[in-house]
Amino acid sequence: MSIVIRTLSERVFEIVRERIVTGQLATDTPLRQDALAAELGVSKIPLREALGRLQQEGLLTSQANRGYMVRALSTDQAEEIYALRLAIEPAAAAHAAACADPPARDAAVQAFERLDRAAGSNLAAVAISNREFHVALVRPGGRLLTTQLIERLSILAERYVVAHLAPAGRETRAHQEHRALLDAFLARDGAALETLLAGHIGATLADLREQFAAR
């Protein structure tokens, strides 16, 4: 029975997470757990497990007597996430490029290809593939804590990635920037990779600032 519950919890987690990342669930409104469980055809046990995981990921908040709510996007959170990424990720990727063995280099290429295939389709898939690509550029460095921090920040950034890609033309620019990042990684050009990645992350933050200011 426990295996079935964990399997259901994982599936519920994926479904609710996709709805949050793509903006299908309203922010700061209590989730109707009874209705959601009925819609998904599950009991409250796997649903609560999934919601607890989503809270740990920073996508949900929980308040006494109100239950779980989707955390709203905010300028402050975007600034913090991207500032931390700028401080850690470019240097980590430059280090990883020098350390990457053939399997790690192949993994980066495959992550890029998955991201390329996802582009223009499901936004949640794009966000997840974007995260996997960025993590693939730092994992070969062998620095576990650094990789875990970057992956955590990339998870928190996924909704902002979706928001950033909404305006026309952004996906084309992102593809070109990701291609340049991959080329520098494969060439083991750490200096170029560090510069390109800092510019890529910084440009995304600048775009998000403009979007928030226009709201």
If asked whether residues 125 and 207 sit together in one domain, one would say yes
Res 57: pLDDT: 85
If asked whether residues 50 and 136 sit together in one domain, one would say no
If asked whether residues 55 and 99 sit together in one domain, one would say no
Residue where a domain stops, chosen among 30, 53, 70: 70
pTM of the model: 0.84
If asked whether residues 10 and 80 sit together in one domain, one would say no
Res 5: pLDDT: 53
Let me know: does 34 contact 47? Beta carbons within 8 Å: no
Tokens of 204: 């995304």
Interacting residues of 136 by C-beta distance below 8 A, sequence separation 6+: 104, 107, 108, 111, 112
What's the total number of domains in the chain?
2
Q: Cα 176 vs. chain centroid, distance in angstroms?
A: 19
Q: Could you tell me which of 137, 157, 156, 161 has the C-alpha nearest to residue 147?
A: 137
* Full pLDDT tens readout for the chain, 215 residues: 444 556 888 899 989 988 888 888 888 788 999 999 999 999 989 999 999 999 988 889 998 878 899 988 999 999 999 999 999 999 999 999 999 999 999 999 999 999 999 887 777 788 889 999 999 999 999 999 999 999 999 988 999 998 888 887 788 899 999 999 999 999 999 999 999 999 999 999 999 999 999 87
If asked whether residues 123 and 107 sit together in one domain, one would say yes
Instruction: Specify the CATH number for the domain of residue 34.
Output: 1.10.10.10
If asked whether residues 185 and 107 sit together in one domain, one would say yes
Residue where a domain stops, chosen among 27, 54, 70: 70
Residue where a domain stops, chosen among 70, 94, 126: 70
Res 125: pLDDT: 85
Instruction: Specify the CATH number for the domain of residue 166.
Output: 1.20.120.530
The domain in which residue 41 lies consists of: 2-70
Q: How many CB atoms lie within 10 A of CB 5?
A: 14
If asked whether residues 132 and 171 sit together in one domain, one would say yes
